[in-house]
Amino acid sequence: MRGRPGRQRRNPRRDGSGGRLGRLLHIDSLGRNFLDATALEVRTGHPVRSEYKKPGKPDVLPLPDAIIVAPASFNTINKWAAGISDTLALGWITEAIGKGLPIATIPAVNGAQAKNPAWGRSVETLRAAGVDVLHGEGVYPAHAPGEGAQYLHLIPWHLSLTTINARTR
């Protein structure tokens, strides 16, 4: 990915698709239950943040050049599309649209949620705002209610990287 003028990229790596990615991670507080934050901090060279920093404290993370939101829940997609910024992760991604950052998301929703009228409106709102929503047949389809854990290994991470790299060249 190209950097911004005057910015120095920290901890870049080759992602296998020809782009350069800086590695940092924001998660919501519940997301910490599903990962080893210490291992991710060692791997990325940056702290894993899930809470806002205290006012007046410096931000220890570099600004991103692009954002991947995955797996994104039904709740995250709908709040994001509505502009709700009640967590650090939602704050970053709601601002990222206004900043014009390239964003790709892979929603992980079940079929019943995908039939909710709010779902289609939210997906269209995000797409109209320039977010690449990678969802549907042939990408990462909705699964049966209660079976999401069985499909997490099928998340097409490579598509999010390819999409972001295509938008940042």
C-alpha to C-alpha distances, 82 to 30, 86, 106, 122, 149, nearest whole angstrom: 21, 11, 18, 7, 27
**Domains of the chain, earliest start first:** 64-168 (3.40.50.1950)
pLDDT in tens, 64-118: 889 989 889 999 999 999 999 998 889 889 999 999 999 999 999 999 999 999 9
Supply the pLDDT for residue 109: 94
Of the listed ranges 14-28, 57-71, 74-88, 118-132, the least confidently predicted one is: 14-28
Across 142-147, average pLDDT: 92
Cβ burial, residue 46 (10 Å; 0-12/13-18/19+): middle
The reported pTM is 0.77
